[in-house]
Structure 1
Amino acid sequence: MTENLSLAPGRHRVAVAGASGRMGRMLIEAIHNSDDCVLAGALDVPGSPALGIDATAFLGSNSGVVITSDLQLGLAEAQVLIDFTRPEGTLAHLAACQALGVKLVIGTTGFSDEQKQALAEGAKQVAVMLAPNMSVGVNVTLKLLEMAARALSTGYDIEIIEAHHRHKVDAPSGTALKMGEVIADALGRDLAECAVYERYGHTGARDPSSIGFATVRGGDIVGDHTVLFAGTGERIEITHKSSSRETYAQGSLRAVRFLADKPQGMFDMFDVLGLR
């Protein structure tokens, strides 16, 4: 057992996947600064130059937790794993967590329908909190969008515009897709049938039942999302802008606390924040 764990009884023991990445480091820093959480494990991919290094070395601190690619070792002392990696990696982590009884907070995006089903099956054994965006503000925005969609169900065209940094590999963002799902559900539509992801050339007039998506990638944009309800004579825009990943880290720790008494089941940030 690491020094942190032996000196911190009663605290939430948290492991972090992708420990050397930007989000991984933000999560580790948030845990390091938390009063009720302690770092219990740090995972990274085989071959990462960070392997073998203390997970909080970048903070000028010694946690006693070494970054490892060995899932058994990295999860041995953890109660919950926070995972913001890639779908394939998250599913591998899920299998290890099932075997060890470790709960999962998942911020990974880009899952296929088949992969989402695998997560749902895993949640029958361990508690899983899955959300495309852990930000408290984003999830409040989702609730506002649900209300707006119901009130503006006719006579308004709906477009979702999102912007992220140049390194993001999936599009549209998981948050944008979640916004579309929330709006479509509120309108009684199926997003798979009404979403429009590309427009080029002679597209014809806009289908009033569609939900359009536009994607921007560039620079170091953390995450901007705007939903436009365009009617005749007026436009309503609901926007959320992230200036730091810190909000995702703090939301993740709220999810860790929420899962503390949940033995199994699939949850999202609406559950965590009481927005049902």
Structure 2
Amino acid sequence: MAQLKFGVIGHKGRMGRALEAAITDAGHALFAGVDAGGSIGPFASQCDVLVDFSAPDALAANLGAARVAGKPIVVGTTGLEEPHFVLLAEAARAVPVLQSGNFSFGVTLLAHLVQEAAARLGDDWDIEVLEMHHRMKVDAPSGTAKLLGEAAAKGRGIVLGDNMESGRHGMTGARAAGAIGFATLRGGTVAGEHSVIFAGNEERLVLAHSAENRMIFARGAVRAAAWLTGKPAGRYTMNDVLGV
């Protein structure tokens, strides 16, 4: 594969530093790196692909820069809300856009298995998503936990937003039938632990993934960016990259 010139947004953060290493390891080049207060706009046209691991409030400007330059963009920013997904869909009409809450190929396959399990197990199996991250993580549940919850909801043919339970405290009453529960743990330097528990009558199925280092996410994002380069405008996911 030819060497690609990357533009990384949020390049001084934890993921940005990991991305720089992964880009070099893959034989590509970091052409431009910008952070809070900077803009990728002046450099975007000279890059082959943009990768955004910055902040939700910067997404509109970053997508706009990609559209003006006509460049593909990979978005790994977490903490996105519904208005951000509208922006992603709008940008995807003009350029290739790949957004994910997790760029690990193991997690991508895990989500596929979660969807399959949710589709095949009956509604009498309760679904709980458990995640743990390092003490510095600012959003909860994690983007990966939401991705896994969405996979479970898709398997069940339901809308996650209408069936999500999180932050239980006090006298909450019995668990709602059909709910997808979320539990969040924070502490230490944990890169990422995720489990999806299917609890049936007198049996449990647990599908899990452990991240030992954030380099797995950086390598996945670089591979996704290389895959995205040259694709037509549209919305893509890690399932497309992995082919599941």
Give the TM-score normalised by the residue count of structure 2: 0.96
Encode CA deviations 1:66-100: one digit per residue, 9 max, x unaligned: xxx24233324201111111111122111111111
Q: 1:247 aligns with which of 192, 209, 216?
A: 216
Does residue 42 of structure 1 match 2:33?
yes
**1:46-61 equivalence runs, <5 A:** 46=37
Aligned length: 244
Encode CA deviations 1:33-80: one digit per residue, 9 max, x unaligned: 223x2221111123xxxxxxxxxxxxxxxxxxxxxx242333242011
Amino acid of the structure 2 residue aligned with 1:188: G
Q: Distance in 1 between matches of 2:7 and 2:135?
A: 28
Aligned to 2:8: 16
Give the drift of 1:259: 1.1
The alignment yields a C-alpha RMSD, in angstroms, of: 1.4
Q: 1:174 aligns with which of 114, 137, 143?
A: 143
Q: Distance in 1 between matches of 2:40 and 2:225?
A: 19
Q: Distance in 2 between matches of 1:151 and 1:122?
A: 35
| Secondary structure of the corresponding residue to residue 241 of structure 1 | strand
Aligned to 1:60: none
Give the TM-score normalised by the residue count of structure 1: 0.85
| Secondary structure of the corresponding residue to residue 85 of structure 2 | helix
Contact 1:40 1:75 in 2 (8 A): no
**1:117-266 equivalence runs, <5 A:** 117-266=86-235
Q: Distance in 1 between matches of 2:200 and 2:39?
A: 54
Aligned to 1:81: 50
Question: What 5-or-longer segments of structure 1 have no aligned partner?
Answer: 1-8, 47-68
Q: Distance in 1 between matches of 2:11 and 2:43?
A: 11
Amino acid of the structure 2 residue aligned with 1:110: G
Encode CA deviations 1:123-159: one digit per residue, 9 max, x unaligned: 1111101111000000000011011112212321111
Aligned to 1:50: none
Amino acid of the structure 1 residue aligned with 2:4: H
Aligned to 1:63: none
Q: Which has the higher contact order (CA 8 A, sep 6+)?
A: 2
Higher radius of gyration, 1 or 2: 1
Does residue 105 of structure 1 match 2:74?
yes
| Secondary structure of the corresponding residue to residue 261 of structure 1 | coil
Encode CA deviations 1:180-232: one digit per residue, 9 max, x unaligned: 11111111111111110121221221122111100111121111111111111
